[in-house]
Amino acid sequence: MFKRIMVPVDQSQLVSRELRAALSMARAPDAELYVLRIKTSPADLDEAEIDLNIIEDETRHLLAEVLSKVGSELPMERIHPEIRSGPVVGTIIEAAEELQIDLIVVGSHGRHRFLEMLTGNTAEKLVNKTSASVLVVKPEGFPFLSE
């Protein structure tokens, strides 16, 4: 059903759940999975290049760790780490359009900070601003989370 799936990942505890959900959705014989990491803080050009290399290595390690735990029928050559720099929502939308993504798998912590109440969280912004379908993965135990 979905052939081009993207999962933006960060350092949160939801990463394994997000990746497992994305891998389970990648059932089409020609499915491609893009694992997106975003560097959000500005830096000078030399520092940014070093940071992006570190982020790419971390992403590959994280992906290998999740794959070893859950296994996957998706061949590694169809799983692509994608490293970008910029504001989170805009960068996800830009990458989704550029890569012609059918489905974005994103995590939601289920908590609402004051600013998010006014502006919406990342998942909500993606649902409203991207042409791709969006699957929101919630943490285990939701809605019974303690803050």
Residue 44 has what pLDDT? 47
Rounded CA separation 22/35 (Å): 9
Q: Please count the CA atoms within 13 angstroms of the CA of 123 that sit on its side-chain side.
A: 17
Burial class (CB in 10 A: 0-12, 13-18, 19+), 128: exposed
Residue 92 has what pLDDT? 94
Pull the structure tokens for residue 110: 């289920």
pLDDT along the chain (147 residues), means of 10: 90 75 85 87 56 72 69 77 87 96 84 46 87 87 57
pTM for this one?
A: 0.77
Q: What is the DSSP string of 41-63?
A: S---HHHHHHHHHHHHHHHHHHH
CATH topology of domain 4-137: Rossmann fold (3.40.50)
SS3 36: strand
